[in-house]
């Protein structure tokens, strides 16, 4: 039950994230306030980061995980960290990307997580 809830929650957050990014890109294109390409890059960056992080954590923390799977999950997390540090430095130092638009795209995942939590119908109160 908990595994299926987690999967559906992750899918719900990714769906909200995709919808928010699409709406923001359309809005940025129409208003010309933000750069749509940088906004889309920030959204894709965080979406991929979120998926890889959840997969690595699921492999490491699964109650049925073997030692080999835990080791592979830990290696995946380290590789994810190195890959994304390299990508973020390439985006800001090699490419001419608008930082504000990129951060708006990155922040959309946080908003999608809040929306996904509020629409899940699960109560997190201790009473």
pLDDT at 61: 76
* Exposure string for 96-117, b = 16+ CB within 10 A, e = fewer: ebbeebbebbbebbeebbebbe
Closest residue by Cα to residue 23 from 99, 116, 31: 31
d(CA 66, CA 35): 46
pLDDT at 15: 93
Closest residue by Cα to residue 103 from 93, 92, 116, 114: 92
pLDDT at 125: 58
Which of 8-12, 28-32, 34-38, 106-110 bottoms out in mean pLDDT, i.e. has the lowest? 8-12
pLDDT at 20: 95
pLDDT at 1: 41
Every domain of the chain and the residues it spans? 2-118
DSSP category for residue 108: H
For the whole model, what pTM was predicted?
0.76
pLDDT per position as a tens digit, 45-68: 899 888 888 877 777 777 777 888
Band (pLDDT 50/70/90 cuts) for residue 69 is confident
């Amino acid at each position: 039950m908990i595994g299926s809830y987690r999967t559906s929650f992750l899918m719900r957050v990714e769906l909200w994230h995709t919808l928010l990014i699409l709406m923001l890109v359309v809005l940025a294109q129409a208003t010309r306030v933000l750069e749509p390409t940088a906004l889309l890059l920030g959204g894709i960056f965080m979406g991929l980061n979120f998926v890889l992080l959840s997969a690595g954590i699921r492999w490491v923390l699964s109650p049925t995980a073997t030692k080999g799977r835990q080791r592979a999950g830990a290696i995946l997390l380290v590789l994810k960290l190195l890959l994304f540090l390299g990508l973020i430095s390439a985006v800001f130092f090699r490419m001419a990307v608008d930082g504000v638009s990129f951060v708006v795209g990155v922040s959309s995942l946080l908003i999608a997580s809040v929306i996904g939590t509020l629409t899940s119908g699960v109560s997190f109160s201790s009473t």
